[in-house]
């Protein structure tokens, strides 16, 4: 009986960051994260939004991989 070798899950994301001027000398960091293989993308203005998107995609992928 041949054992199937499981490949570790791997994901590739692109993250683009830029500074947006809000006026009165205030600057806000903004960004866009995109999952390369699915094309799914989110814009964000804070780190918790970025992290939530990454965790949601990784969790969905892990669930899908375990059901195979």
Q: Classify residue 35: in a domain, yes or no.
A: yes
Q: Is the pLDDT of residue 44 over 70?
A: yes
pTM here is: 0.71
Domain count, the chain: 1
Q: Is pLDDT at 46 greater than 90 in this prediction?
A: yes
**Whole-number pLDDT of residue 68:** 54
The vertex-38 CA angle with 42 and 54, nearest 5°, equals 45
Does any domain span residue 8? no
Q: Classify residue 50: in a domain, yes or no.
A: yes
Q: Is residue 9 part of a domain?
A: no
- Predicted confidence at residue 26, as pLDDT, reads 94
Give pLDDT tens digits for 53-66: 999 888 877 665 55
The percent of residues in the chain predicted with pLDDT above 70, rounded, is 78
Does 1 map to a domain? no
Tell me how far apart the alpha carbons of residues 55 and 38 are, in angstroms, rounded to a whole number.
15
């Amino acid at each position: 009986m041949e054992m199937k070798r499981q490949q570790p899950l791997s994901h590739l994301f692109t993250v683009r960051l830029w500074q947006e001027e809000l006026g009165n000398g205030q600057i806000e960091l903004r960004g866009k994260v995109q999952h390369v293989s699915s094309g799914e993308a989110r814009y964000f203005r804070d780190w918790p939004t970025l992290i939530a998107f990454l965790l949601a995609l990784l969790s969905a992928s892990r669930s899908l991989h375990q059901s195979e």
